Structure 1
């Protein structure tokens, strides 16, 4: 019988620079208003996201200067390494372990490129063993927190007793673009922040919260919904369709389909834990999942406090729900480039 993976600890971390939403709006106005006539019309987005504050790896003045690939990459390496060490140390300590106890490291990140990868760069600071197994994962975008948890749980189940560390880290603010005078770029400026989450998993020795099952659905012909373009200046955000409308129309049946493969139904889920893309996406999630308006309270709190941090955001939601006490069965869901939905069912024993 398969020994299911249990969540031993959960931790989150944000970088040191705090930005209030009004402060970001004023910076965006300084960058775009004179060059992009539609900016003032789109500026209402900043007040409608549900975001009060966000965090970045650089002070706000850094983003006002135009940056290219070399500067963005250097900022990514410095910021990501520091944030990685902080969140991993928290998760390892909460699991009553040391870095040398970690057998497998899964690193999920889509907002920067590092070769050697991030876990190799910080291995010495974390005290990781020379024989630690490394699994870097790129390109999952906002779905990466849930998909990463699924990957990490399968690795834990394959090696019962092994300690698997998942780190999901994104520095979305480093993709701010001065040259792209588009609605998609303004939407990105109104939403995204930086953050990281880490989870330690282990299979075979109990644990109150276990990964019961996982599943994904990839919709055909949806490559243009979300992703990156790549050019000499850096990453450029792709938002070609209205994501809240897509969520409202397609998420419910997709989740039901994934649950059916788990031999579950929507009625078996006591709590949905969703990636909060923004206020409109949260409202669309509630409609799609037939939830009462206001049900996704942790999601609204996380987006208000930290903004959309891409992949780790749903794990911030999980941390808050974990602290409050999980119900018997929860379902983590996140949507991301592909276009895809990823789900992980958690079974909790009080």
Structure 2
């Protein structure tokens, strides 16, 4: 089998951004009719979410304006096309790859609906080849960035000398529900932000960058109610079970140790943790579990602070930080994310 390497990772942020402290007055206005105790509780959630700033495809005032699902989704479609094209361009120039050299394009998004999928527009906008293989990944939520890496790895392992572009574009703000006062909606509004990321991978003999040793998925049986969206007449309504952190904790040893053992490694050999920042509580849970093993997830916490949770794209922002570091040859990194299903996706890297 030939090696699969990560050639480049890049990001692209939308035009609008606001610090959390500047969003609080909008939240107060939105919750104006709610009882004061509830309002105070929600503001505390925003203040304690460990997110200092977030980006969005529309002005924050627009996010808090009542519009139809159709109108919000139209903004999503318009903006993700721009972000997807731009982020792939960023990555191609970082790797000095021509647009006509991409053999396989994977696009990832779960925060809006568009058919044809995003990849079709990127192919036209950037002039990708007519025989490029398309794979849109649409319903795997926060885990889909890692799912995309696994699909890319599988394709490249069986196809030497090929190149893959993985493009993740998400706009959770386009799914924000103005009339949903559930805790799931409050928590997701407090942690989510918009953003795009792109990873370029190659199975060429002269490819450089960290090597993917292996990638696997882990399915939590009978846990479909843990996380996802309900499709309502008002749009995509957030489902988020408060038991997610403890569910992860109970499965954690089964998720991490057998996977590493199958690839001839162990947690002792893994120097770098590239974990998806799902939210403050999940980060804390995973930090406690890894901390007990003498590891840290500082980069994960920092990405959450700077951008919030951008669903599938977020873990790729963490990955980008590791590609910018000076890492010794032979050192290993574990990429890990969780998403609807309920599932855990993991990839083992070696520099």
CA distance in 2, matches of 1:16, 1:6: 31
Q: Over the residues paired in the alignment, what is the CA RMSD in angstroms? A: 1.6
Counterparts in 2 of 1:30-41, with a 5 A limit?
30-35=29-34, 38-41=38-41
Task: Name the count of aligned residue pairs.
Answer: 347
CA distance in 1, matches of 2:260, 2:32: 46
Relative to structure 2, which stretch is displaced further, 32-41 or 211-220?
Answer: 32-41
Partner of 1:181: 181
Q: Name segments (4+ residues, structure 1) moved above 3 Å.
A: 290-294
Asked if the contact 1:107/1:167 (under 8 Å) is kept, the reply is yes
Where in structure 1 are there 5+ consecutive unaligned residues?
none
Q: Are 1:333 and 2:332 counterparts? A: no
Q: Are 1:280 and 2:281 counterparts? A: yes
CA distance in 1, matches of 2:243, 2:24: 22
TM-score w.r.t. length of structure 2: 0.95
Per-residue deviation at 1:244?
A: 2.4
Residues 343 and 65 (structure 1), Cα distance of their counterparts in 2 relative to 1, 3 Å cut: same
CA distance in 1, matches of 2:309, 2:114: 22
Residues 269 and 193 (structure 1), Cα distance of their counterparts in 2 relative to 1, 3 Å cut: same
Asked if the contact 1:171/1:309 (under 8 Å) is kept, the reply is yes
Asked if the contact 2:51/2:308 (under 8 Å) is kept, the reply is yes
Counterparts in 2 of 1:61-76, with a 5 A limit?
61-76=61-76
Counterparts in 2 of 1:215-294, with a 5 A limit?
215-291=216-292
Per-residue deviation at 1:280?
A: 2.3
Residues 338 and 87 (structure 1), Cα distance of their counterparts in 2 relative to 1, 3 Å cut: same
Where in structure 2 are there 5+ consecutive unaligned residues?
none
CA distance in 1, matches of 2:169, 2:39: 30
Partner of 1:210: 211
CA distance in 2, matches of 1:286, 1:252: 14
Relative to structure 2, which stretch is displaced further, 266-275 or 244-253?
Answer: 244-253
CA distance in 1, matches of 2:103, 2:92: 12
Residues 307 and 160 (structure 1), Cα distance of their counterparts in 2 relative to 1, 3 Å cut: same
Deviations, residues 88-130 of structure 1 (Å, cap 9, x unaligned):
0011111111211111101111111111110111222212111
Q: Are 1:56 and 2:56 counterparts? A: yes
Per-residue deviation at 1:294?
A: 8.5
Partner of 1:343: 346
Relative to structure 2, which stretch is displaced further, 291-300 or 117-126?
Answer: 291-300
CA distance in 1, matches of 2:336, 2:55: 23
Partner of 2:44: 44
Relative to structure 2, which stretch is displaced further, 25-34 or 58-67?
Answer: 25-34
Asked if the contact 1:219/1:339 (under 8 Å) is kept, the reply is yes
Partner of 1:144: 144
Partner of 2:135: 135
CA distance in 2, matches of 1:24, 1:158: 48
TM-score w.r.t. length of structure 1: 0.95
Relative to structure 2, which stretch is displaced further, 79-88 or 271-280?
Answer: 271-280
Per-residue deviation at 1:219?
A: 0.7
Asked if the contact 1:218/1:341 (under 8 Å) is kept, the reply is yes
Q: Are 1:8 and 2:7 counterparts? A: yes
Q: Are 1:29 and 2:28 counterparts? A: yes
Deviations, residues 19-38 of structure 1 (Å, cap 9, x unaligned):
11122222122112413552
Residues 174 and 36 (structure 1), Cα distance of their counterparts in 2 relative to 1, 3 Å cut: farther
Relative to structure 2, which stretch is displaced further, 151-160 or 245-254?
Answer: 245-254
CA distance in 2, matches of 1:250, 1:39: 35
Relative to structure 2, which stretch is displaced further, 22-31 or 111-120?
Answer: 22-31
Deviations, residues 252-286 of structure 1 (Å, cap 9, x unaligned):
33211322332322112111110011222212111
Relative to structure 2, which stretch is displaced further, 240-249 or 70-79?
Answer: 240-249
Asked if the contact 2:290/2:296 (under 8 Å) is kept, the reply is no
